[in-house]
Amino acid sequence: MPNNPIFVTKPTLAPLEEFTEILNGVWDRGILTHNGPLVQELEQEVCKKLNINHFVAVTNGTIAIQMAIKALGVKGEIITTPFTWVATLSAIQWEGCTPVFCDIEPDTLNIDPTQLEACITPNTVAIMPVHVFGNPCDVEAIDLIAKKYGLKVIYDAAHAIGSTYKGQSLLEYGNISATSLHATKLFNTAEGGACITKDLELFEKLKRIRFFGHDQKKAIVEEGFNGKVTEVHAALGLANLKYFDSVLKDRKAKYGIYKDALSGFEGISFQELKFGGANYSYFPIIFDSEEQLLNAEQLLNKEKVYPRRYFYPAVNTLEAIVTYKEMPIAEDIAKRILCLPLYYDLKEEEQEFIIQLLLKLKNS
C-alpha cells in the first residue's frame, strides 16, 4: 500500500533548477509583465509544438473564454453543454450572454450535434461546445450547423491541448478555441490559459483585448481588460514545455493500463473516443449506478485514494446561477462518472494498487 494519499491529479513540474535558470533572465532584465520576452517565446514555442499559427497566452482559461466572446463581439444566446465545469457558464454570463443548454451524447460525453438545431432561436449568436476530457467533439457537424445559421463557434478547449482532429491540432477548430493552462492540466503555467484562432484579425484583436484595448501605439482603440501573463508564469511554461511530448506519451500509456485492466468489469463503461486524437488527459469511468460509484469512492477513500466526481453536478442544475432546465443525459452521466488518478508522477505500483482496489469491488 502506498504511503501517501493519491489525489486525482498532480501538476507536472519540470525540475526546479530548469525553472530557476530561466528565472535568472527575468531578474537580469527586470521585466515582469506586459508581453515580456518570455511570454512571446512561450507563445512561439507552443505554436511550433502544436503546429499552429496563433496562440495568445492569457491569465487563465476562464478569461480566455470571456476574451473569445468579446473578440467575436457577440451578444445573445450561446448554446453550450450542461456537462462541463462551471467556468464555461460563468464566462458566458460575465460577457452578458445567456447560456442555452443542449444535452450531450451518452457515449462521447460531448454536445450532441443532432440536438443543436432544436436549440437555435432568433437570439442565438454562438455555439460553445466543450471537448470533454480532451475528446474531440464532432467538429465537422458543428461547423456545418454554425455555417447554416450564421453562428460563431467558440470551443471551450480547456482540456484539449495536445488533442488532434484529422492530424491537426484540435485547438484550430471553431472561430476561437479557449484552452486552460491551469496547474491540473496536461501542460501548465500554474494558472494560465490561451486563445487560439486561425484568423489573423481576431488574433490581433485578442492581443489588444488582453492589454486593456491598447493598440501597438498604446492608444485605446477598443474595450479590453487585463488578461496579461507574467514572465514568471511564462518561465514555468517554458520549463514545462520541454516535457510536453513525454507527458502526452505517459498519459496515453497509463490510460491504456487502466483501460486494459478494467475492460472486463461489468457495471462500468468508458467514454467513447469516436474520432481518435484525444490527449488522454483524464481517465473517467462511468458506473451503471450512482450507488456503485459511491461504493467505489468510499473504498478508494478508505485507502487514501481520492478520485474526483467530475463533472458533477451537471451545470444546468446550478440553480444559484441559472434557471434549471432538464438535461436528462448530462444529469444522469454526471451522477455516475468518476475520474481516476492520472498524472505524470503516478507510479506504476500506485496505479496497480488503484486497479486492484477496483477489481476487489468487482468481485465483492
Ligand X SMILES: Cc1ncc(COP(=O)(O)O)c(C=O)c1O
Residues that bind ligand X (CB under 6 A): 60-62, 84-85, 87-88, 130, 156, 158-159, 180, 182, 193
Residue 84 CA, distance from chain mean position: 9
User: What gap in Å lies between CA 92 and CA 110, rounded to an integer?
Assistant: 18
**Min dist. Cβ of residue 174 to ligand X (A):** 14
CA nearest to 285, candidates 340, 231, 245 = 340
**Min dist. Cβ of residue 303 to ligand X (A):** 26
- Parallel, antiparallel, or unpaired: how do β-strands 164-165 and 168-169 relate? antiparallel
Q: Which is nearer to ligand X, 138 or 156 (CB)?
A: 156
Q: Which residue is nearest to ligand X (CB)?
A: 61
Q: Which is nearer to ligand X, 262 or 327 (CB)?
A: 327
User: What gap in Å lies between CA 8 and CA 120, rounded to an integer?
Assistant: 37
Instruction: Please name the residues in contact with 53: beta carbons below 8 A apart, sequence gap of 6 or more.
Output: 47, 198, 203
**Min dist. Cβ of residue 311 to ligand X (A):** 8
Q: Which is nearer to ligand X, 61 or 237 (CB)?
A: 61
- Parallel, antiparallel, or unpaired: how do β-strands 193-196 and 176-180 relate? antiparallel
- CB distance 182 to 63 below 8 Å: no
3-state DSSP assignment of residue 109? coil
**Min dist. Cβ of residue 64 to ligand X (A):** 7
Q: Which is nearer to ligand X, 109 or 262 (CB)?
A: 109
Q: Which is nearer to ligand X, 60 or 197 (CB)?
A: 60
**Min dist. Cβ of residue 323 to ligand X (A):** 21
Q: Supply the DSSP symbol for 177.
A: E
**Min dist. Cβ of residue 276 to ligand X (A):** 21
In 83-105, which positions are buried (b, 16+ CB within 10 angstroms) versus exposed (e)?
bbbebbbbbbeebebbbbbbbbb
**Min dist. Cβ of residue 159 to ligand X (A):** 6
User: What gap in Å lies between CA 130 and CA 116, rounded to an integer?
Assistant: 14
Q: Which is nearer to ligand X, 262 or 337 (CB)?
A: 337
- Parallel, antiparallel, or unpaired: how do β-strands 124-128 and 305-306 relate? unpaired
Q: Which is nearer to ligand X, 282 or 353 (CB)?
A: 282
